[in-house]
Amino acid sequence: MTQQRFRWYGRFRKTIRFLSLFLLISALFAAQGQAAAKAPAPSGLDTRAIFERYADRIVKVQVVESKSGAESIIGTGFFVSQKGHLITNYHVVSKYIQFPERYKVQVLGRTGEPRDAVILGIDVLSDLAVLKDSVPADAYFSLTAADLPQGTHLFSLGHPRNISLSIVEGTHNGYFKQSSLKQIHFTGSLNPGMSGGPAITASGVVAGINVTTAGNQVGFLVPVSKAVDLLSKTRLNGNTTSPDFTEAVRSQVLKFQESTVPDDLIKSGKTVRLGNYDLPGQLSTLFECNADSYVEPHKLYETVTHACSNKEDIYISNSLRTGSIKIQHQLITTDKLNQYRFYNLYSEFFKSYGGPWSGSEEELTKYECRAGTVEHNGAIFKTLFCARAYKKLPGVYDVAFKAAALGDRKQGLVTSLYLTGVSFEKGMLLSRDYLEKISWKK
Amino acid sequence: MEKIVFIEILDRWGRVQERVRVDSFPATIGRAYSNRVIIDDKHVDPGHARISLAEDGVLYLEDLNSVNGLHLVKPASRVDRIAVSPDLRVRIGQTVLRLRFEDQEVAPAVVDRTAEDELPAFATNPFLLGASLLVGMAWFVLLSYLGSPRYTELADILIKGVTTLLAFCAWAGLWSFASRLLAQRFRYLTHLSFAVALGAVFMVFAISHDYLEFVVSPGPMTIAAEFAIIGAGLFFLVYGHLAILPALSKRGKIVSSAIAAVLVCAFLGTSAYSDHRKFSTEFKPQFSLKPVSKKWLFAKKPEKFFSALPAMKVKLDEAAKKKLAD
């Protein structure tokens, strides 16, 4: 069995990957710890007064397991109407949306018992959800689509790691432009559990909603305008139970794909030169590229890697993220290896998987693949097209296209395109364009 | 005429345990050492029975008032005295005796299949065997070198070669041991060089298959070819060793080799199938890239590759629906 001969090797590599991932995550946590230790120096503003004034507008949002009543996920939410409407993150309540029969959503004020809440609307792309508490709110924030300047001092409120309500100072540091979602870069220590809490100015104007942290005082906020949009689109009255949001998630993901992955994404993108090849390069301003080279210690071979990817990262569930697009080229050259040994090396590069790692069997099918040999622009390529379907979101697929240049006995090129959360047709179209864009000159 | 009778003590499977020629009468049968025929059975009396020649020239077997008596085997009945007929079977105690005369007819000799398979001269020529061993090992070492794109020291390659050789030695040892037990022949070197030679030939086919899988994209045909190669390899391996052993008739060799090949293929097939069914978040091409000249690649136009893809969508949608229903 050809594929079995190298299996032990694959496992080994997987272990290494897991290990490095683990190290990375622990490093992040360590970095977070350090960041928390050197909290921002107290400013002139009376943080305590702000905390006291706004604390009763904030609640803890928790998703509990229906049978045991045990907490599964915690986050933060804040009142935006007198009737008890709340804003929180989609990712805080996503477990309920995925498995409504197994979980329920509750809110918890500073004092008192947990109360059941219903979800009225979601925005998967911005990572927001509108909830309604079962009792009216005593106090609330009224949201306006304010566009605050960079440098504005902000106070972020939330329940970090299930500790009691906390306030964190930080600075609005402009918009993160690499993503089509235009999140606000917040310099301050956001922590897990603060998700869904508001970041406000000293005068109580909501600037954004806490969403993620990249450690080291780098946090991100969803601009308040997104919450204003979502509130205006959501039917705020009537529903006493949460509707099924599967279709909403599906249509939002597909709509996102239509707007951010245009049909001419590859055609209109730049090219990059690697060896004798012209290859797809930076596809749009939303893509970031980097290059790397490696020389084997015994100079048996050398590789040049060029990769571009967008920064989209849409949270669908705990185990599934989508929206990312990645292209990667690897040029492998040898002087010392004979053709048989070189092609074994080349195969390893061709077989290595560089696509998304997320996903579980509940959410995705296995990859289906089709291989072929094609002639294009006078060069011959081994091509591989693979795709998998999202089980709960019909019409949404992850697609991968790989090509390896054949014929040269001293040089190889492996080029890959990984698309996530696209329609099958778009996956095919972009793969076609991708191959079309590759050209080879002697 | 002088009467001669053979008294055969049978074991519980009916095979002759001891045979006593009796030519003077009367002769006694019992557990005591004074008997003509001594039977080691605690249910037999020290003096249990006697054969005597009557005046009419007929031999009689009679019970000497024993505790457990004298019994006919067929029909089962206790007797005191019985005339000795050819092939008479009686039971005393728990021992069965068969009585036969000199003129008892016996079946012609059976041909000895194990002795028939004397090996041809080349299969036992030590120089030829040594040479095939060397060539085979050199081939394995070469393949292991070409198979690895990593930096390798000469010592690594030699160690790999020796390790492979040791594995073959152990394998041939098992067959030689079986050979020694079953057919009184050892033939170690023949078993060893046969296994190495067949292994070397198998590798040629395995490599050809890898090239085939690369040129023709993997599909039912390449999987069938893979199993055909593995199956044939196993069949010849077992058949060859059985021939060297030597054991079984030609038919027996074919049947047992086929059974071995089918069993191993079924095992490999099942494990490959369960691997194939397992969920994974990654994909891995089944084939490896090979240095093949452009004219053998049979490259098609890109349109042809892409136009076949919509079928995959149908398959994926079905898979997505099916799993949801579960």
Write the CB contacts of A253 (distance below 8 Å, at least 6 apart in sequence): A124, A125, A314, A316, A322, A323, A393, A396, A421
Distance (Å) of CA A234 to CA A42, A78, A128, A239: 39, 17, 12, 11
pLDDT-derived band at B248 (thresholds 50, 70, 90) equals confident
Residue A31 pLDDT greater than 50, yes or no? no
Give the alpha-carbon dihedral of A33, A38, A40, A46, to 10 degrees.
90
Q: How confident is the model at residue A175 (pLDDT cuts 50, 70, 90)?
A: confident
In terms of Cα–Cα distance, which of B58, B56, B84, B57 is closest to B70?
Answer: B84
Here the tokens at position B258 are 């086929």
Q: Is B152 on the interface with A (CB under 8 A)?
A: no
CA distance B283 to chain A (A): 6
Confidence grade of residue A243 (pLDDT, cut at 50, 70, 90): confident
Q: Is B291 in CB contact (< 8 Å) with chain A? A: yes
CA distance A291 to chain B (A): 24
pLDDT computed for residue B1 by the predictor: 54
Is the pLDDT confidence value at A93 over 80?
Answer: yes
Spatial contact of A412 and A385, defined as CB atoms under 8 Å apart: no
pLDDT 10s digits, A406-419: 989 999 999 999 99
Q: Which two tokens stand for residue B21?
A: 């020629």
In this structure, the strands spanning A115-123 and A128-133 are: antiparallel
Contact (CB<8Å) A337/B286: no
B304 with A358: Cβ contact below 8 A: no
Q: What is the pLDDT of residue A30?
A: 42
**% of chain B with per-residue pLDDT over 70:** 97
Check if the beta carbon of residue A80 is closer than 8 Å to that of residue A231.
Answer: yes
Chain B residues closer than 8 Å to A406 by CB: 289, 292, 294, 297
Assess whether pLDDT exceeds 60 at residue B324. no
pLDDT classification of A7: cutoffs 50, 70, 90: very low
pLDDT band at A28 (very low <50, low <70, confident <90, very high): very low
Residue A26 confidence (pLDDT): 45
Check CB contact under 8 Å for A357 and B226.
no
Q: Which residue of B has its CA nearest to A299?
A: B151
| Confidence label for A178 from pLDDT (cuts 50, 70 and 90) | low
CB distance A365 to B316 below 8 Å: yes
* Residue ranges of domains in chain A, CATH in brackets: 49-243 (2.40.10.120), 254-440 (3.40.1000)
With cut-offs at 50, 70 and 90, classify the pLDDT of residue B182: confident
Q: Which residues of B touch A372 (CB under 8 A)?
A: 217, 300, 304-305, 308
Written in H, E and C, the secondary structure of A287-311 is EEEEEEEEECCCCCEEEEEEEEEEC
Test B313 with A424 for CB contact under 8 angstroms: yes
The beta-carbon neighbor of B301 closest among A2, A341, A375 is A375
- Count other C-beta atoms under 10 Å from residue A59's C-beta: 29
Q: What is the mean pLDDT of residues B68-87?
A: 92
pLDDT reading at A135 higher than 60: yes
How high is the pLDDT of residue B326?
A: 53
ipTM over 0.90: no
B309 touches chain A (CB under 8 A): yes
pLDDT of B95 over the 90 cut: yes
Q: Which of residues 255-274 of B touch A (CB under 8 A)?
A: 268, 272
pLDDT above 60: residue B216: yes
Cross-chain Cβ contact A435/B294 below 8 Å = no
Which residues of chain B have a CB within 8 Å of the CB of A424?
Answer: 310, 313, 316
Contact B319 A361 (CB under 8 A): no
User: So what's the pLDDT on residue B127?
Assistant: 92
Residues of A in contact with B306 (CB under 8 A): 385, 428, 431-432
A:B CB pairs within 8 Å = 166
CB contact under 8 A, B286 and A3: yes
pTM over 0.90: no
What is the band of B323 on the pLDDT scale with cuts at 50, 70, 90? low
Residue B217 is given by DSSP the state: P
pLDDT band with cut points at 50, 70 and 90 for residue A18: very low
Q: Which of A339, A368, A413 to mutate to test the interface with B (most CBs of B within 10 A)?
A: A368
CA dist., res. B16 & res. B8, Å (int)? 6
pLDDT digits (tens, 9 = 90+) for A35-85: 333 344 445 557 888 888 898 899 999 999 988 888 888 899 999 999 989
8-state DSSP, B85: -
* Cβ(A277)–Cβ(A439) below 8 Å: yes
Question: What is the structure's pLDDT at B157?
Answer: 87
Backbone angles phi, psi at B302, to 5 degrees: -55, -35
- For all residues of chain A together, what is the average pLDDT? 85
